[in-house]
Amino acid sequence: MGLFNKIKQAFSGQKNETETKTEEKYDKGLAKSRQTFGQRLNALFANFRSVDEEFFDNLEEALIGADVGYEMAVKISDELRDEVKLRNAKSQQEVTQTIIEKLVDIYEAEGADEKNSLNFAEKGPTVILFVGVNGVGKTTTVGKLAHQYQQEGKKVVLAAADTFRAGAIEQLEVWGKRADVPVVTGKAKSDPAAVVYDAVQKVKQEQDDVLLVDTAGRLQNKVNLMNELEKIKRVIHREIPEAPHEVLLVLDATTGQNALIQAKQFKETTDVTGIVLTKLDGTAKGGIVLAIRSELKVPVKLVGLGEQIDDLQAFDPNEFVYGLFKDLVQPDAAKTDD
């Protein structure tokens, strides 16, 4: 189903229990972004008279302000110029509808070949490596995902490979107790790769299902950090040739374009397979998801929509678009056919 059709269907109320719960989490988690995005468009139309160059300049500013990103904002604006002319859209409602549909179309096209779900090993343990700077919610994400997998009946092990940050090992051990899963640790400032090696041996010997590896976010400099991550990956790959099955870059949505800069830096030096976007409920600039997809060509695979242990969700593009745009869609327009 197309993403805009998802928004249309939302007005029909035809959802099962799982869909309803997921929608509620996205609805609540994207409340700030949705309100701000709506306010920006409403402000844009406050003095609306005609769809002229000034209108499109203001639209670009509104999109950039929502963290859609400069390149994406210009692309949307350029394509909208053609679309508005093609449809001969003149009224505020017609133009609003065109903007939303074009945003959805571009979003869908950018991720046409993406796989949003996590990769799992066909046989043996799945190893997922978490990378990212300090303070983005990396350890919390590891803990929440461990809880989810444990609840699903999987045998999960955590590796505390962030041996440099004070309290990092203890923080992961707290999450291990909370999720009721074992944590492999080493001494503070010990070799992170050695901790990972011990963890890999454990999951192989005990036939565990999933190994989640928490890593450092800062060493003496960026080169040292990236070298350390590569060393960890080599250790994993040597013991389990097809691993790591995912290298997830954790980004804090509240930092906006700084998150995008971090993502570009990590992508330049390590093989990132997916993005975890945390604290999405704490930002009014949910457009960062569009910027990441457009500029990085790396799929968002998990999103943090709240502080509760079950608020880490698999990224659902349909629910994201619905959660971001639903207040801007006119119910009567949404019920009409394409």
278 is in an annotated binding site: yes
Angle between helices 31-46 and 92-110 (to 10 degrees): 140
332 is in an annotated binding site: no
Place of tokens 């869909």: 19
138 is in an annotated binding site: yes
Between CA 254 and CA 141, with CA 169 as vertex, the angle to 5 degrees is 35
Q: Give me 82's structure tokens.
A: 């053609």
187 is in an annotated binding site: no
234 is in an annotated binding site: no
137 is in an annotated binding site: yes
132 is in an annotated binding site: yes
135 is in an annotated binding site: yes
As a whole number of Å, the CA-based R_g of the chain is 22
Spatial distance between the Cα atoms of 270 and 219, rounded to a whole number of angstroms: 16
**What are the backbone angles phi and psi of residue 274, rounded to the nearest 5°?**
-165, 165
Q: Give me 14's structure tokens.
A: 């035809």
217 is in an annotated binding site: yes
DSSP string spanning 201-247?
A: HHHHHTT-SEEEEEE-S--SSHHHHHHHHHHHHHHHHHHSTT--SEE
Sheet with 183-184, side-by-side order of all strands: 183-184, 156-161, 210-215, 126-131, 246-252, 274-278, 300-304, 312-314
216 is in an annotated binding site: yes
* Dihedral of the alpha carbons of 177, 277, 9, 309, in degrees to the nearest 10: 10
134 is in an annotated binding site: yes
First-to-last C-alpha distance (Å) of the chain: 13
136 is in an annotated binding site: yes
Find all residues with CB under 8 Å of 35, minimum gap 6, and list them. 284, 327
126 is in an annotated binding site: no
Spatial distance between the Cα atoms of 325 and 34, rounded to a whole number of angstroms: 6
Sequence ranges of the binding site: 132-139, 214-218, 278-281
Sequence ranges of the binding site for GTP: 132-139, 214-218, 278-281
